[in-house]
Amino acid sequence: MSVRLAILGAGVMGADHARIMSGDIPGAVLQVVCDASEKRAAAVAEACGARHVASDPLAVIARADVDAVLIASPDQTHAALAIAALEAGKPVLCEKPLAPNVEDCLKVIEAETKLGRRLLQVGFMRRFDPSYTEMKATLAEGRIGGAVMMHNFHRNVEAPANFEGYMGITNSAPHEFDVARFVLDTDYASISVFQPAGVDTTKTGMPVVIVLETTGGHLVTIEVNNNAGYGYDVRGELIGEHGSVFLNAPVHSKLNARLQAAERYPADWRPRFAEAYRVQNKAWLKSIETGVPSEIGANAWDGYCATAVAQAGVQALAARQRVNVHMADKPALYR
Ligand code: ISE
């Protein structure tokens, strides 16, 4: 069976998904690449052998020769496109965040609930990353006892120019919110956000340290530093009652020269999580072929949870106090 895909958005992530889908995922056919800039869409389509190029995402979703939709357009467009795809009964892989605010996440959930079956997966690819998979499995095997804390570090080389205000909390940290919730199998009760002094305010993106309490009683810490300067560096350690699991980033070689040993950092997240994206996209395609949603993949409810925590985090930073995380009632579809 082949699945004809439309990729909506031909920026960094759209181009990467087009490459993965056309090169690494048997059964996927790149039918359309769509972007507001047809030139950009055409460049990606040519590089990946896509059949068509377009600039109107709603028209693409409606096409009879498109079976499924991968949304990689700007964050604020995700919800409307996801809803259109769900209304057309087409499976969706939506890049994170599901939407930048909870209201829009809930609208997507409403559309999917109305449809009565789960057709949407959110691109929280870390759930498929081998290092987090091992961490979760080690916990399940009881090798470190019960989980107590999880520490996370999220460092980018430099925040993009369009990164404004609280995007460290709303755009970067959601990966950590989701993966810690997934590893610990819990929800969040409260969030506090701290900001160090001495920050270069001419740069976009502000470093923050986030402390979360879960409903299961764990503590989760997250450092987000979008201007770390030296490389893309994601670290994590899960602390159990009598042991810990530390994430290892895939490093394939080490340079020895001039009395020093060195390992490279990637410039962004794509090399660090290349395997996670590949396995995620493969699982998504399988879910389309079988009609059974991936058990590991994040669903619309998980997308909502990450945004709800992020939104509470923005309030916590503004108010300089701990904020309780309030969640809507979970619809039966996601239980
Ligand atoms: C970006 O959107 C991502 O998803 C990356 O994983 C993250 O490191 C970056 O900070 C975000 O802007």
CA of 275 to the centre of ligand 1 (A): 16
Q: Residue 119: name the closest of 95, 90, 94 by CA.
A: 90
Instruction: Say whether the ipTM exceeds 0.95.
Output: yes
C-alpha to C-alpha distance for 279 and 289, rounded to whole angstroms: 15
Kindly report the protein residue whose alpha carbon is nearest to atom 9 of ligand 1.
172
Nearest CA to ligand 1 atom 3: 172
- Is residue 238 a contact partner of residue 182, using CB atoms and an 8 Å limit? no
Q: Is residue 320 left, alpha or beta, with left meaning phi > 0 and alpha meaning psi from -120 to 50?
A: left
Ligand 1 atom 6, closest CA: 269
pLDDT at 165 over 80: no
The residue nearest atom 11 of ligand 1, judged by CA position, is 172
Which helix (H) or strand (E) is 152 found in, with range?
A: strand 147-155
Quote the CA–CA distance of 106 and 113 in Å, as a whole number.
10
- Among the atoms of ligand 1, which is closest to the Cα of residue 154? 8
Q: For residue 269, which atom of ligand 1 is closest to its CA?
A: 6
Rg (CA), the chain: 20
Mean pLDDT, the chain, whole residue set? 96
3-class DSSP state of 277: helix
Backbone angles phi, psi at 80, to 5 degrees: -60, -40
- Given a contact cutoff of 8 angstroms between Cβ atoms, the answer to whether 280 and 127 are in contact is yes
Lining ligand 1 with CB less than 6 A are 156, 171-172, 175, 226, 269
pLDDT tens figures, 41-96:
999 999 999 999 999 999 999 999 999 999 999 999 999 999 999 999 999 999 99
Please identify, by atom number, the ligand 1 atom nearest to the C-alpha of residue 95.
Answer: 4
Encode pLDDT of 100-157 as tens digits: 999 999 999 999 999 999 999 999 999 999 999 999 999 999 999 999 999 999 999 9
21 vs 165 pLDDT, higher one = 21
**From CA 5, how far away is CA 26, in angstroms rounded?**
12
How far away, in angstroms, is 269 Cα from ligand 1 center?
7
- Distance in angstroms (rounded) separating the CA atoms of residues 256 and 103: 52
State yes or no: pLDDT of 202 exceeds 90: no
Burial 212-247 (b: 16+ CB within 10 A, else e): bbbeeebebbbbbbbbbeeebbbebebbbeeebbeb
**130 Cα: distance to centroid of ligand 1 (angstroms):** 19
pLDDT reported for residue 306: 98
Ligand 1 centre from 84 Cα, in Å?
25
Mean pLDDT of the region 284-302: 98
Interval between CA 190 and ligand 1 midpoint (Å): 23
Residue with tokens 């619309």: 300
At 192 the three-state DSSP class reads strand
Q: What's the one-letter identity of residue 37?
A: S
pTM: 0.96
Ligand 1 atom, smallest distance to 167 CA:
12
240 CA from centroid of ligand 1 (Å)? 28
Q: Relative to the CA of 226, which ligand 1 atom is closest?
A: 10
Which domains does the chain possess? 3-123+275-295 (3.40.50.720), 127-273+308-324 (3.30.360.10)
Q: Please give the average per-residue pLDDT across 229-255, as a whole number.
A: 96
The CA 243 to ligand 1 mean position distance, Å, reads 30
